[in-house]
Structure 1
Amino acid sequence: MSTIASPRDRRPPSNLPSPSPSARPSTDSVPPVLSPQAPLSPPPKRKNRAALREYYNLRRAAPQDDAAAAEDARSEVPPSELDAHDFDADAWVERKLDESGLEELLRVYTRVLGEIRALDAEKKALVYDNYSKLISATETIRKMRANMDPLDPVASALDPKIAQIYSQAEKIRDDLRESVPRTDETEERRRTRELAREVLAMPDKLRALVSEGRAEEAAAAWEMPRRLLVIWDERGLGGADVARLIEEGDGILEAGSGSSSRTSES
């Protein structure tokens, strides 16, 4: 009698090694296809040109008028008749001397003096601002020279031009240092001479006011010039002419007050 054979176990033996993950074909082991990378930054020459164009505002040449208008709007001095294109300084001074009294003249002088000082301050600020920009540009060019490859033929060709710009910047700096103080001293002397001429003409105006019976107005007009003359006399400015003007003005007012009192008594 034959025996029935049991079915064969088709499971693989447990001692056979199982395929590891590294043995399986996978896309991870396939070398990636290298694609050409785009340059992250422009070449040095193009980068330097772009920096120069951006620094000198070559792309924004059109809005220059708007920037100038905004700069004028920031001025502390309001526009007046002195800013007119056909302004005549001599005629304006003569008209003020003829139409205004001493108090009004001193008020105008104080206002104009304040405006002149404000404009001088704005001029100095503008000069120093442009000077700082020039120095910044020079320093930028110097750093560019240090960073550029000396073997580059373009850089070698630019060396003489950059050296010339640097020397011109130093010359402009020296000229600015020499010119600004001299301008201030000349303007100060001119204003002092104008004030001295106004004070010298004061006795004649006092006589005219006293002769018209306006002694009180003459006394009010003499107050500020007399104070200025006393300061000059204490500082030793003007010599004997200052003391003579003080005595002359006081004498005119005393004579005017005496005549007005006699007129009131009669």
Structure 2
Amino acid sequence: MTSVIERLTARLRRAFRVRRISFDGFTLVGYRHGVPKSMTHALLAGDYENPERHAIKGVARPGDRVVDIGACMGVVSLTAARIVGAEAVVAFEPNPAAAIVAAENFALNNLPVKIEHAAVGVAAGWATLTVGSSSWLGAAIGGGHATTIEVPVCAIGDVIAQYRPTILVLDAEGMEVDILPACPMGGLRAVVAEFHLSSLGPDSVEGLRRHLRAEGFQRDAQLSEAGDLVCTEAWTREVRTT
């Protein structure tokens, strides 16, 4: 629980529009033109991407390789890099503005995670990315009333073949319904995924869970968090090495 002192400190930083924010042991980009205020406010409140960070802290260990799809500002990628090393993490972020901030956050913390300025989908190509004006967390591929840009898409099969992750972090704003079934699972021992109930519906999300179970994964209840609109879930399995 956030203490009174922490809440007061967050309010002072918000009032003075600090350029750098200390968050979970990291130094991150703070207030500046082009960065949605809601993102900075979430960092100051100390609750930015809490379920994802909690899950990756629970599943990652030295020797893992992590692919983070939908990295946004790079905080989950940084959390993974602190455990497995920056050289073992690759972040995918299609929103150019968010990707720039992520790269700066990696540099600020001397954790040079590789960042791919691309979305991930079933097949390689191009797609329309809709970026909300108030938050990068709501960016989604498809239609909408916010700003739209054309972004490159990497095929999930190619991503897995190139980077050979043992952990997949998937925050694809509803695209998980396509990406996860198409993902080669052979080398993965853990999946941390956001399931978007609001856009996919409970039946589609349950179908993704059945798919993971069929691949030998089990949901870790202690590392997962249910929600009415979004569920963050950690799925793990033992992978035999030859």
The interval holding the TM-score normalised by the smaller chain is: under 0.3
**Structure showing greater relative contact order (alpha-carbon pairs closer than 8 Å, 6 or more residues apart):** 2
Could you tell me the TM-score, scaled by structure 1's length?
0.23
Give the structure with higher Rg (CA). Answer: 1
Could you tell me the TM-score, scaled by structure 2's length?
0.25
Structure number having the greater helix percentage: 1
